[in-house]
Structure 1
Amino acid sequence: MSEQPLSDSRSDGLAPDEQRRTVRRRYAQIASDSSSCCGGSASTSDEELTQQLGYSADEDAAVAEGANLGLGCGNPNAIASLQPGETVLDLGSGAGFDCFLAAREVGGAGQVIGVDMTPEMVDKARDNVTKNDVNNVAFRLGEIEHLPVADGAVDVIISNCVVNLSPDKQQVFHEAFRALRTGGRLAISDVVLTAELPDDVHADPESVASCVAGASPIPEVEHMLSEAGFEAIRVEPDEESEAFISEWDADRDVSEYVVSATIEAVKPT
């Protein structure tokens, strides 16, 4: 892997504080009106979108209504290989859909912690704990660049189309490494950049908040994970994600620039 520093592909984008405010406002609105983060099309039903993201009908039906807001770009639980008794941390947990699915896998002896920086979303997720009648899931308010968990506290970190929203992705991966136990693993779904974005997209708040302008190229993601200390790094694009990404923007086909990917890595023993 190259030792040369990678250029900042978003150097002309929003300032970090402005990016955080933009994202927080967007997701507060989503929590309030249950709209999708990434647009979508009237021709695609909620059930079809859930299937396109990689969830089974059984998974969708297993979680009470109100937790699945259609916010992701994949199914991180499908690659996490969760085991009974494990502690799972979800970065940008939203209304809790992936957390409640993870809770089924780790069982009563396990624990799932969701972290989200939007108070309205955390409130919604906590309401959903009661709706789903679970006692091994907790939600905490916090930024994924500064996780409210102790060092070495979790076995697995999952996330669904959230890391791209951060203005400091390197810090996110450093924090993930800190929070994982030795031998712990990272298993996330996110978007990666496949072609240079038009100049007007970089500084467009709507594109930043809708999981487009913040995407990084695969080599940059691999470099950041390596810099954080991870090993066994794998970034696998999902070309079939074009089916739903192409509907994220009414004005342009953003699948020409980004694709969903699974991102896996391990904290070495």
Structure 2
Amino acid sequence: MENADDHRRIVRERYASIASERSGCCSDDGCCDSDESEGEPGSRHLGDTEEDLNAVADGADLGLGCGNPTALAALSPGERVLDMGSGAGFDCFLAAQAVGEEGHVVGVDMTPEMVERARENGEENGATNVEFRLGEIEHLPVADGSVDVVVSNCVVNLSPAKEQVFEEAFRALAPGGRVAISDVVRTAPIPESARRDPASLSACVAGAETVDVVANLLTGVGFEDVRIEPKAESERFIREWDDDHDPSDYLVSATVEARKPVES
């Protein structure tokens, strides 16, 4: 990829198209589980339960994630949550139910079409404690120390400036706050043909980093208690992401957890 602006443009165009089509990505290559051979919706294979899927009105689950960060976060009533790369709002609505009316959820997405769709879904779901803001995850439109938890679902890998993403998450968190992220990590070198392919970049493949790189980025910006756990069972749905390559040869889904020190 020539530069960060081109990188973001390619990602933004892909997800604008998905939002405008009013459907998920599972008919195309990309960040989702397209295997419905057993009659189950894709998200069931990403960690969401039947109860999760039934709790949110149709239209918010585009099958774009690779895990369930809201479950990982173990949210409590009254907490303030920020979702980086909130898409059509599915994880935000799950988080809103967990934190209750005393809590608050902010979804941030850089694609205007996704923000518009998420706001429509918010009305459909009656989510009064959720708001959606247009912005880049490298420049979060929130105040310093204004949230207790930062979640994200298969989005950080799409950023050309991952250290800046984690710096922004750190800034947004109150002291003692935590991140709970589902994403992909690289387990082997990515083939040059895939690494240079714009479609692979926007499909959560070419931008993945290793566990060590992600851990060092998190600790480098100040996080502590960093835990990254690859999920071997993700191989089955990751192999569906690319028609020309088998991404499971060099990618795996992982959970990423860390905490901002109380004294910071």
So what's the TM-score if we normalise by structure 1? 0.93
How far 1:40 sits from its partner (Å)?
4.9
What does the per-residue CA deviation read over 1:218-254, in whole Å, with 9 as the maximum and x for residues that have no partner? 0000000011100000000000001100101111111
- Report what 1:198 is aligned to: 191
Aligned to 1:19: 7
Q: 1:188 to 1:39 in 2, by over 3 A?
A: closer
Q: Within 2, Cα distance between the matches of 1:40 and 1:76? A: 16
Q: How many angstroms apart in 1 are the aligned matches of 2:174 and 2:219?
A: 17
* Offset, 1:45: 6.6
Q: How many residues align?
A: 257
Q: Distance in 2 between matches of 1:161 and 1:200?
A: 22
Tell me how far apart the structure 2 counterparts of residues 209 and 223 of structure 1 sit (CA, whole Å). Answer: 24
Q: State the distance in 2 between where 1:126 and 1:45 align.
A: 32
State how 1:3-42 maps to structure 2 within 5 Å.
13-33=1-21, 34-36=23-25, 37-38=30-31, 40-41=33-34
Residue type matched to 1:265 in 2? A
The question of whether the paired residues in 2 share the 8 Å contact of 1:95 and 1:122 is answered with yes
Q: CA RMSD in A?
A: 1.2
Which piece of structure 1 moves more, 64-73 or 26-35? 26-35
Matches within 5 A, 1:1-269: 13-33=1-21, 34-36=23-25, 37-38=30-31, 40-41=33-34, 43-44=36-37, 47-269=40-262
Q: Distance in 2 between matches of 1:253 and 1:48?
A: 22
Letter in 1 for 2:13: R
The change in CA–CA distance for 1:104 and 1:42 in structure 2 (over 3 A counts) is closer
Distance (Å, rounded) in 1 between the aligned partners of 2:31 and 2:190: 17
- Is 2:33–2:45's contact at 8 Å kept on the other side of the alignment? no
Q: Is the Cα contact below 8 Å between 2:33 and 2:63 reproduced in 1?
A: no
Asked whether the 8 Å contact 2:106–2:131 carries over to 1, the reply is yes
Q: Which amino acid aligns with 1:20?
A: R
Distance 1:96 1:40 in 2: 18
- Distance, in Å, in 1 between the alignment partners of 2:149 and 2:201 is 27
CA gap 1:30/1:57 in 2 versus in 1, 3 angstroms: same
Give, as a single letter, the amino acid of the residue that structure 2 aligns with 1:27: Y
Tell me which moved more, 17-26 or 243-252: 243-252
Aligned in 2, Cα 1:95/1:45: closer, same or farther, shift over 3 Å?
farther
Cα distance in structure 1, aligned partners of 2:157 and 2:176 = 25
Note closer, same or farther for the CA distance 1:90–1:44 as it changes in structure 2 (3 Å cut).
farther
Question: Which 10-residue stretch deviates more, 246-255 or 22-31?
Answer: 246-255
SS at match of 1:208: helix
For 1:31 and 1:184, locate their aligned partners in 2 and report how far apart those are by CA, in whole Å. 31
Q: Which moved more, 1:181-190 or 1:45-54?
A: 45-54
Q: Secondary structure at 1:26's aligned position in 2?
A: helix
Q: Among the aligned pairs, what percent are the same residue?
A: 60
Q: Secondary structure in 1 aligned to 2:116? A: helix
Q: Distance in 2 between matches of 1:133 and 1:171?
A: 34
Letter matched to residue 134 of structure 1:
A
Say if 1:46 and 1:70, in contact at 8 Å, map to a contact too: no
